[in-house]
Structure 1
């Protein structure tokens, strides 16, 4: 599991990367392996639903064991399953890129980072940057 300090640094790194890339205002959430919120930060001007979306991207990645990029790809081919998944999770899964698993060097899941605010590819890129900058392995969910 990530410490609170590690999670906070990771969130700050994601926000700095978003600013460096010229992204729209971002909201970044870091969740522990059980899906509980560790850190949430919103940049000034971030839209009202961004905290829920960022958390849902990360929560879905944790719940399914796949980054939200893979969830998005699978949702396109099995929409009925993902409609059911959304209902079962009470809306806490958003299968859109931007939810990235944080793994250690041996592959164990330590946390997940979810980002919302810009286009999904940029959200994901900021998460990957922050995770790798922290010395962890980013798993955005390329479909095997």
Structure 2
């Protein structure tokens, strides 16, 4: 298995920001983490607020920590709020269970890492993540379906 490397992570993050700019989405921050949850690339567009990198990282960390894309995390958080309160207590509030957090998989389905995007609506954040992962020829898992 090829791990997610710095160049690929940086490319995915910068592509997500580029997509947002091209499509008129608000300025974003993007965090790409490896499979162990370590940041490889955290980028903030100039106009994105100072909290956006932490929010993006929380979206990606939640996906990696639970093994689900952000949409599935959101459903579970809504169904089991006490459990997710406990998870946030354990992680110091580092899990943000909403769309915009996406697992990054290889063609065989193995988790290579995750991306979190923050700055616009969760749907728009996720759209940028999905397209950036696809352009890197990897598989996106948003919790609803795998995208190639």
Q: What is the TM-score normalised by the length of structure 2? A: 0.94
Alpha-carbon distance in structure 2 between the residues aligned to 1:123 and 1:18: 8
Superposed displacement of residue 48, structure 1: 1.5
Provide the alpha-carbon RMSD of the alignment: 1.0
**Alignment gaps of 5+ in structure 2:** none
| Regions of 4+ moved over 2 Å | none
Alpha-carbon distance in structure 2 between the residues aligned to 1:29 and 1:130: 12
Superposed displacement of residue 106, structure 1: 0.7
Q: Secondary structure at the match of 2:103?
A: strand
**Alignment gaps of 5+ in structure 1:** none
- Number of paired residues? 143
Choose the corresponding residue for 1:49, options 48, 51, 57: 51
Corresponding residue for residue 122 of structure 2: 120
Alpha-carbon distance in structure 2 between the residues aligned to 1:20 and 1:121: 16
Q: What is the TM-score normalised by the length of structure 1? A: 0.96
Alpha-carbon distance in structure 1 between the residues aligned to 2:38 and 2:74: 22
Superposed displacement of residue 18, structure 1: 0.7
Alpha-carbon distance in structure 1 between the residues aligned to 2:58 and 2:14: 19
Superposed displacement of residue 142, structure 1: 1.4
Corresponding residue for residue 134 of structure 1: 136
Paired residues for 1:1-144 under 5 Å: 1-142=3-144
Q: Secondary structure at the match of 1:114?
A: strand
Q: Secondary structure at the match of 2:46?
A: coil
Deviations 1:85-124, CA, capped at 9 Å, x for gaps = 1111111100111010000011100010100000000000
